[in-house]
Amino acid sequence: EIVIKTEKLNRDLCIDQMESFFKSVKRCLEDHELVVQVQASMTSESKFLFRKNYAKYEFFKNPLNFFPEQMVAWCQETNGTIPPSQLLQNFLNSSSCPEIQGYLYVKEMGRKSWKKLYVFLRRSGLYFSTKGTSKEPRHLQLLADLEDSNVFTVITGRKLHNAPTDFEFCIKPNKVRNEVKELRMLCAEDEQSRTCWMTAFRLFKYGILLYQNYKIPQQRKTLLSHFSAPVRSVSENSLVAMDFSGRIGRVIDNPVEAQSAAMEEGHAWRVGSNDCSPSFCISSDPVIHRTQLWFHGRISREESHKLIHQQGRVDGMFLLRDSQSNPKAFVLTMCHHQKIKHFQILPCEEDGQMFLSLDDGATKFTDLIQLVEFYTLNRGVLPCKLKHPCTTVAL
């Protein structure tokens, strides 16, 4: 994925050489866009930022998380009883007329003030009502055209021009390079609303092309899987269930017995065996977790939110950090159902050995790497398994 990020290097940060209006704006390039063409329209102050974004096509998997019922006109007309597949088909079908509606703060042209307006996003453009929430044609005025424009996320713009919320975005015509007056600055009430508006903008503009971008890589993987078997190591192919409870080991042929043995072994690891060897109970390097990509050291809760948001608020996105309130503890920060949650990892002692646990000692680990590996395979007390490590992005 490529993100366009524009910023001024030698004075107040802005977009495309504009006077200190933004600190930073960015947008995600679509898979069908040609980087060379995009670069040709950029100024020398703009740059490409390469990073992961797990949420780029997440709305195809969980559309109801991206489109609240109260914001979709079609949902309201049908009392919200819409299957997720129909909701997306309505957006992708060029002959249908879906509509996103709700209040947005709109920056007045040539002024520093913002006005709260009831806005409608349609295939034909972005409109606002001059009379309350009326959608009669005589009460609608065009705010922005979608066909020859792009939608950008505005970063830290609130401090620079007195935006009413932190959830700011803008619509910029492609032909505009230096004219601030041509930009449409908008603010949503919360992150979910901003995501809804920006996702709908992408769907209205690109339609079925977005769905093709999403499906083609998956179809290639399916096609390749038919012609090539999964590559497994020699040791993995030769793995068998063994029983070492007697004087000599034996192969467990009964599948039920093998599954039972595996469950017992997992239970012994979960509660912490008293007769385990010292090499297992004591971490050989107590700070080895600091070399892991998912560990971010002493960052704040707000910074952890920002990192996860940058790489996509999808289920299982996670990072670990030092606890700010307890110098001996750590915090697991993860995302589930578009919400970011925090779990404190505390040290605990048993039989003179120190362990780490996030469930009050029910499951104990010798180090953070072991903890992450466990919750990658098992949900445990977490809302979901750990899936996507949130890594530090380097330019």
Instruction: Name the strands in the sheet holding 168-173, side by side, starting at the edge strand that comes first in the sequence.
Output: 46-50, 2-6, 24-28, 149-155, 168-173, 184-187, 100-107, 114-122, 125-129, 140-144
> Is the pLDDT at 351 greater than 90, yes or no?
no
* Contact in structure between 170 and 183 (CB atoms under 8 Å): yes
Question: CA angle at residue 37 from 34 to 43, to 5 degrees?
Answer: 130
Q: What is residue 172's predicted lDDT score, i.e. its pLDDT? A: 87
Highest mean pLDDT among 22-36, 83-97, 323-337: 323-337
Q: What is the pLDDT of residue 216?
A: 82
Rg (CA), the chain: 26
Contacts 24+ apart (CB under 8 A), 370-376: 371/345, 372/292, 372/294, 372/320, 375/332
For residue range 56-69, what is the model confidence (pLDDT) as tens digits? 888 888 888 888 88
At residue 5, the pLDDT reads 56
Coil, helix or strand for 115?
A: strand
Structure tokens at 218: 């998956």
The residue assigned the tokens 């424009």 is 149
- The pLDDT of residue 90 is 83
* Cα–Cα distance for residue pair 366/219, rounded to 1 Å: 41
What pLDDT score does 342 carry? 96
Integer Cα distance of 164 and 189 in angstroms: 9
**21/313 Cα distance (integer angstroms):** 28
Note the residue count of the chain: 395
Helix, strand or coil for residue 144?
Answer: strand
Instruction: Give the integer Cα–Cα distance in Å for 75 and 67.
Output: 10
- 153 near 198, Cβ under 8 Å? yes
List, as one string, the DSSP characters of 216-229: HHHHHHHHHHHHSP
Question: Could you tell me the pTM of the whole model?
Answer: 0.66
Min mean pLDDT across 12-21, 32-41, 119-128 is at 12-21
pLDDT for residue 246? 58
Calculate what percentage of the chain has a pLDDT beyond 90: 30
Provide the CA 182 distance to its chain's centre, in angstroms.
30
Handedness of CA 218, 221, 227, 230 (dihedral sign): negative
The model's confidence at residue 103, banded by pLDDT at 50, 70 and 90, is: very high
| pLDDT value, residue 235 | 41
